[in-house]
Structure 1
Amino acid sequence: MIILLFIVGFSFRGTEDDVIVAVQKHGPPNEIPMLKNSPELKQTMKGSTYADSIIQKEKELIQQEENQKIVYLTFDDGPSSDANQLLDVLDHYRAKATFFMLAPQIKAHPEVVKRMVKTGYAVGLHGVTHDAHQFYHSKKSPLHEMQEDQKVLEKITGVKSTLIRTPYGSVPYMLDSYRKEIESYGFQLWDWDIDSDDWKSNSKAFVYRVINEIKLMESVGKHPVILMHDRGPTIKYLPILLNWLNKNHFVTKNLEESMDAYSFKCNDRCHPFGS
Structure 2
Amino acid sequence: MGKGRKMLKWREVAILTVAALVIFIVGFANFGDRDVSAEAKNMGPPKKAVALEQASELKKQIKGSNLGRSIDEKASKQAHEKVVYLTFDDGPSPDVNKLMDTLNKYHAKATFFMLAPNIKKHPEAVKRMAKEGFGLGLHGVTHDPNKFYRSGKSALHEMEQDQKVLEDITGIKTHMVRTPYGSFPYLRESDRSLMESHGFKIWDWDIDSEDWELKSRQYVPKVINSLNSIEKAGRTPVILLHDHENSATLKYLPELLSYLKQHHYKMKSLDDSMKPVTFQCHNRCYAYSQKHKSNR
TM-score for the superposition, normalised by structure 2: 0.70
Query: 2:122 is matched by which residue type in structure 1?
Result: H
**Does structure 1 residue 156 correspond to structure 2 residue 169?**
yes
1:256 shift after superposition: 1.3
Task: Name the CA distance, whole Å, in 1 between partners of 2:188 and 2:277.
Answer: 16
Task: Name the CA distance, whole Å, in 2 between partners of 1:84 and 1:126.
Answer: 19
Counterpart in the other structure of 1:81: 94
The equivalent position to 1:245 in structure 2, one of 260, 264, 284, is: 260
Counterpart in the other structure of 1:117: 130
1:273 shift after superposition: 1.2
Counterpart in the other structure of 1:140: 153
Counterpart in the other structure of 1:27: none
Higher Cα radius of gyration: 2
Tell me the alpha carbon deviations over residues 229-261 of structure 1, each in whole angstroms, 9 at most, x when there is no partner. Answer: 002210000000000001111111111111111
The verdict on how the C-alpha distance between 1:221 and 1:65 changes in structure 2, with shifts beyond 3 A counting, is farther
Task: Name the CA distance, whole Å, in 2 between partners of 1:213 and 1:84.
Answer: 28
Counterpart in the other structure of 1:268: 283
Counterpart in the other structure of 1:200: 213
Task: Name the CA distance, whole Å, in 2 between partners of 1:236 and 1:88.
Answer: 12
The verdict on how the C-alpha distance between 1:153 and 1:98 changes in structure 2, with shifts beyond 3 A counting, is same
Counterpart in the other structure of 2:55: none
Task: Name the CA distance, whole Å, in 2 between partners of 1:222 and 1:65.
Answer: 17
Task: Name the CA distance, whole Å, in 2 between partners of 1:159 and 1:66.
Answer: 35
Task: Name the CA distance, whole Å, in 1 between partners of 2:198 and 2:154.
Answer: 13
SS at match of 1:73: strand
Question: Tell me, which stretches of 5 or more residues in structure 2 are unaligned?
Answer: 1-48, 50-76, 291-296
SS at match of 1:78: coil
Contact 1:122–1:255 (Cα < 8 Å) also in 2: yes
**Does structure 1 residue 103 correspond to structure 2 residue 116?**
yes
- Within 5 A, what are the aligned runs for 1:205-224? 205-224=218-237
Contact 1:101–1:126 (Cα < 8 Å) also in 2: yes
Task: Name the CA distance, whole Å, in 2 between partners of 1:65 and 1:183.
Answer: 35
Contact 1:139–1:181 (Cα < 8 Å) also in 2: yes
Query: 1:223 is matched by which residue type in structure 2?
Result: T
Query: 2:135 is matched by which residue type in structure 1?
Result: A
Contact 1:69–1:218 (Cα < 8 Å) also in 2: no
Question: Tell me, which stretches of 5 or more residues in structure 1 are unaligned?
Answer: 1-48, 50-63
Counterpart in the other structure of 1:19: none
Task: Name the CA distance, whole Å, in 2 between partners of 1:66 and 1:203.
Answer: 34
The verdict on how the C-alpha distance between 1:105 and 1:65 changes in structure 2, with shifts beyond 3 A counting, is farther
Query: 2:187 is matched by which residue type in structure 1?
Result: M
TM-score for the superposition, normalised by structure 1: 0.75
1:224 shift after superposition: 0.7
Counterpart in the other structure of 1:179: 192
Counterpart in the other structure of 1:90: 103
Task: Name the CA distance, whole Å, in 2 between partners of 1:143 and 1:216.
Answer: 34
SS at match of 1:186: coil
Quote the RMSD (CA, aligned, Å). 1.7
Contact 2:80–2:264 (Cα < 8 Å) also in 1: no
1:157 shift after superposition: 0.5
Counterpart in the other structure of 1:53: none
- Within 5 A, what are the aligned runs for 1:26-45? none
SS at match of 1:124: strand
Query: 1:208 is matched by which residue type in structure 2?
Result: P
The share of aligned pairs that are identical, in percent, is 55
Task: Name the CA distance, whole Å, in 2 between partners of 1:90 and 1:155.
Answer: 26
SS at match of 2:90: strand
1:267 shift after superposition: 1.4
Task: Name the CA distance, whole Å, in 2 between partners of 1:132 and 1:268.
Answer: 20
Task: Name the CA distance, whole Å, in 1 between partners of 2:107 and 2:80.
Answer: 20
